[in-house]
Structure 1
Amino acid sequence: MDSFLKEFYPKVYLRMLEDKDISNYCKFDSQLLTVFTSSMYISGLITTTLFASTFTKKFGRRLSMLFGRAMYVVGAAVGGGAVNLSMIILARVLLGVGMGFSTQAVPLYLSEMAPSKYRGAFSNGFQFMLVVESLIASFINYGTEKICGGWGWRISFTLAMVPSFWLLTLGALFLPETPNSLIQQGKGHQKVIALLKKIRGIDDVDEELEDIIKAE
């Protein structure tokens, strides 16, 4: 958005105004702009590789999802209220941390909670929804760019917290932990059996419990 570039990357904005014929590569040739665009993905990669997997294994899938969603909310709030470049980059880093934890914990949670015959459908459904969310985000960016006054980018940033806050308060907050995670955390088998009976709707869960114990 022009208003965003004008506020945080004035040199890039002036370069765009001065010469309409130069390539986009030359227009947006800025190290700071590169930091902004790539910081989320780099922090997400580092988080997933170094922290999220260990955290998810030790503290559970549910807590990892909650933490990831909380980072999304905080990152969106910081970005929406940013007054300088440092805040904008920090917001992207926080969003990357949220992305790292979410992409680590959510597919794992779905696969462990879903009945075996529906496991593939749940996993594919998760990937499909990521594409849908990207499409919705593109429409939001397109719409907010048309807002007069130069604050459309703030709305775009802030709206990122809406689905995260919704899932944080009404979703993951009330979800049970997965049977696999309970085994990893050393919880009693009786607690795991009770959970399996509840989510499977049957009383004979000994075979699945045995498979989970062997897998862990």
Structure 2
Amino acid sequence: MAAVPASILTLGALFLPETPNSLIQNSKDPEKAKLMLQRVRGTNDVQAELDDLIIASSISKTIKHPFKNILQSKYRPQLVMAIAIPFFQQVTGINVISFYAPVLLRTIGLGESASLLSSFMITGVLAQLGDYGGISKGYASLIIIFICTYVAGFAWSWGPLGWLVPSEIFPLEIRSAGQSITVAVGFLFTFMVAQTFLTMLCHLKSGIFFFFGDG
């Protein structure tokens, strides 16, 4: 089942256009970058921005220690965002359903078939479970609706923006370091959430959803 969306993403990547930055860095023909920039901005008046990109690209190639440079005070806002954005993306609880949807749905009283169906839903947790035993089928169905609503909202907000925003806020001279930190922090907290969720569920019970809701 995972092969289907993975194939769509793989094939779609083949048709993604180059960005002006990548064209400047990988091509010696600035006209290609200018045409792409005109297409993105919807205007032919892009020469000033193109010149800035070319200068920034030239400067970035002279930087020898991006991880050391990102610690400078002038890059402090970007460094904070490189850590804060992936952190808050993970503490929304989105990966909890990805990993533990069958456990959660069995907890609220749904059967194995419903738990299997939940593998189609990459969702976060915005539902309150009973602390003891199952709940009614009607309330369980309502919880699934809330879960689907949550993942739809996540897909329109934190989902793509958690990766898009960091990639755009770093100057070219520290972008490699900034993106590396963003990805590392994201995977670190993904691991921590996955490893601690069951223990937290046992101790906090329904209160765990207030924890993720506050995140």
| TM-score greater than 0.5 by the shorter chain | no
Normalising by the smaller structure, the TM-score range is 0.3 to 0.5
Q: How high is the TM-score relative to the length of structure 1?
A: 0.39
**Higher helix residue share:** 1
